[in-house]
Structure 1
């Protein structure tokens, strides 16, 4: 149990040395793990093993005091693959297909949640009530109300929850935001965030089919409405269907819009309007828009979110990014680095500020993020977290607001005090309907 652990007594495992440890080959880390007493290990359980869940687990296992004690997935083929992967890392996890049984395991200290978005709220709040510390993938929820419930649950159970918005742990993002806060850009009245997914292709409609062997499809659906199995709605492509996710707006938007909220030090907009549709691939199977522009009014500045599938051009010559547009200059920020482009004075001959040449990314944000999470749980101090549940909730809610504006076709105004819109149709999309016997958690 966590209260018996003394993770810092071994100098080789102090956090100042973690970056060195993470550079060791997997076999060396596995050897170090063998030399750590069972009482000094952090036992992790992974729920959802295919995509980012596996990436998160792979990252945190670079720390030798972390042990994978259990994995849970509804697909036997994924479980078999991950068992083989973990054997190479000297981990022999207990296997589950029902996450609730994993949470019943008293030996598990930490849970990583890498399931589709519509599952995050139930699994995170259940993990909190089971006494686990939690790393939950972004977006934290598939609705505004679920995000609110998750914050309240973490507070009620005093749980340390890190959200998988790892850009907050990457050095160049932090330096760029520090520059924004310095005031050198002048007055910032406009911001932008965008993702142009040029590599995307049409999702060809296919007929419903029998559930694949080894898949617990009812558990995969969980609180979502029951539908016959269709491979277009399963695994990675779930993100293009409203039952389970919010398309590019919540997939990439939470990462990029998060930097706007952080840089401008705001939580929620006053109003939102959005336009878009199925323009790139009008006949494909997706429900979420493949082209979308959302305009957010924050009172003293505005933000535009843009995404387009099948188009790679982007803005400022970047496929994705964030721009802070000040009267002295514009800071452009991407996962690859950042720069500042000065404005000219009235004569158009003199720069109003000094340019900042491209500052490239030099570190691994995900690895930094899992180190930060382990440090917080080891020191039992949630204030150390780079992306606490509150930050994840704020940007998830803002991203969902853009989708709600698109789905209603209206300019919607947000009442932060009442936590509702001025529009009945928009308010109907704030709280999801749960199905198949599952109940929406209620903590707030």
Structure 2
């Protein structure tokens, strides 16, 4: 199922440069969004998913890669080499170690941000100030008020921001929503469960080391608390520390909560309660929970989250998933499939993930690619570009990304404080709870300024 949008081609066929672009893009044909000149694009954070996002954008639109930025010189040079080998590649990108210098010295239409969570707010806001639209990875922030600042900046500067919660653009989940949610086949919905049981929590004890000369650890740390250096943190090690991210809640719950909110047209939860801790994987340095539950309360039902980074999943078919329970049936969904199980004797209706191996044969040669996810990301990029062209809100507009991200951050705060929380997004406080309100904005390291300004 393709996303629904209007593509602006008014001047495309009149332009010789556009004809050249069309020829150069070859077999991708009319799946592309065209314009008279390429989109000027930069990437901040050239790790695994930053490159994945850039390469998906290059597959669906004429792109000139003008800048790449990373504090790891080796990773930056490798990203430049790999990007230049892409069949769609155009440009001669300048390489930067400091995003501020990159944004000040290059003119870009679009900036992709694939940094760790603790850098999302400052990079996104500065990119928007410099005139760029932004594709921002989830969760959008490490604290709630960073998210409010990004949202305010997007509206102030009139920029389009698409958040990388691409389940909204996942073909088989769009199909499931249309078939079973929009038609009312589930009947009255009374309960929702979301979960992740992947063994994804790093739990090592690497020794302290000297910082290598190719890596700027001071700038990588930026506004976050600075840990003693024990190896390259951006090789997925950072995800195991709350100093830099939001744990498995921020990594995985944000996707499934966002999916359910999209499918059921939900906004902010009325109340959030969470419990958990480090119960089993106690041997390493990691300070994110290995076990955590959360309840997101809405008017008519609750959304229950559970993650464990150990043991076995209760349903091996759906280890990272949502299950929506209605009076007429249950809809289970994941990145790989969906099943609608009707009440009574009717057979289960099954749907599978869409792969595009024949359409994009180069995908199979890409190292570490998530083949099941790239069709969704390509559609997410198409929607992003169409929203820029038509001045409309994208599927995962920054406000939607903020609600989903902040709800997960609030769950972490509830788990930390041991009590339920109710967030007021208008006043930007937790009413009647000064201690919790103080945690909506965490202290930045000396030399860095938090972007949220109280009105």
TM-score above 0.5: yes
After superposition, the C-alpha distances for 1:299-328 in whole angstroms (9 at most, x for unaligned) are 211011111113342447311111110111
After superposition, the C-alpha distances for 1:24-78 in whole angstroms (9 at most, x for unaligned) are 9xxxx9xxxxxx99x7111111000012111101111113511211100000110
Matching residue of 2:197:
196
Matching residue of 2:51:
54
Match runs of 1:38-437 below 5 Å? 40-63=37-60, 65-89=62-86, 90=89, 91-178=91-178, 179-198=180-199, 200=200, 203-231=203-231, 233-315=233-315, 317-344=317-344, 351=345, 354-363=346-355, 364-377=375-388, 379-383=389-393, 385-421=394-430, 422-437=432-447
SS in 2 for 1:134: strand
Give every structure 1 segment of 4 or more consecutive aligned residues whose post-TM-superposition deviation is greater than 4 Å.
Answer: 5-15
Q: Which runs of 5+ in 1 are unaligned?
A: 30-35, 345-350
Kindly state the Cα deviation for residue 235 of structure 1 after the two structures are TM-superposed.
3.5
Kindly state the Cα deviation for residue 117 of structure 1 after the two structures are TM-superposed.
0.4
Tell me the C-alpha RMSD between the 2 structures.
2.7
SS in 2 for 1:231: coil
Pair 183,64 (structure 1): closer, same or farther in 2 beyond 3 Å: closer
Q: Distance in 1 between matches of 2:162 and 2:27?
A: 23
TM value normalised by structure 2: 0.85
Kindly state the Cα deviation for residue 186 of structure 1 after the two structures are TM-superposed.
1.2
Contact 1:327 1:343 in 2 (8 A): yes
TM value normalised by structure 1: 0.87
Pair 301,76 (structure 1): closer, same or farther in 2 beyond 3 Å: same
After superposition, the C-alpha distances for 1:151-193 in whole angstroms (9 at most, x for unaligned) are 1000000001111111111221112223223222111111011
Q: Distance in 2 between matches of 1:401 and 1:258?
A: 14
SS in 2 for 1:69: strand
Q: Distance in 2 between matches of 1:368 and 1:192?
A: 26
SS in 1 for 2:138: coil
Pair 273,113 (structure 1): closer, same or farther in 2 beyond 3 Å: same
Bigger shift: residues 260-269 or 144-153: 260-269
Bigger shift: residues 356-365 or 321-330: 356-365
Q: Distance in 2 between matches of 1:64 and 1:167?
A: 21
Q: Distance in 2 between matches of 1:7 and 1:102?
A: 30
Q: Distance in 2 between matches of 1:312 and 1:374?
A: 41
Q: Which runs of 5+ in 2 are unaligned?
A: 1-9, 356-374
Q: Distance in 1 between matches of 2:13 and 2:65?
A: 20
After superposition, the C-alpha distances for 1:323-352 in whole angstroms (9 at most, x for unaligned) are 1101111100111121111224xxxxxx4x
Contact 2:108 2:131 in 1 (8 A): no
Pair 361,430 (structure 1): closer, same or farther in 2 beyond 3 Å: same
Q: Distance in 1 between matches of 2:99 and 2:399?
A: 24
Q: Distance in 1 between matches of 2:236 and 2:202?
A: 14
SS in 2 for 1:211: coil
Q: Distance in 1 between matches of 2:173 and 2:260?
A: 11
After superposition, the C-alpha distances for 1:118-173 in whole angstroms (9 at most, x for unaligned) are 11001111111111111111111111111111110000000011111111112211
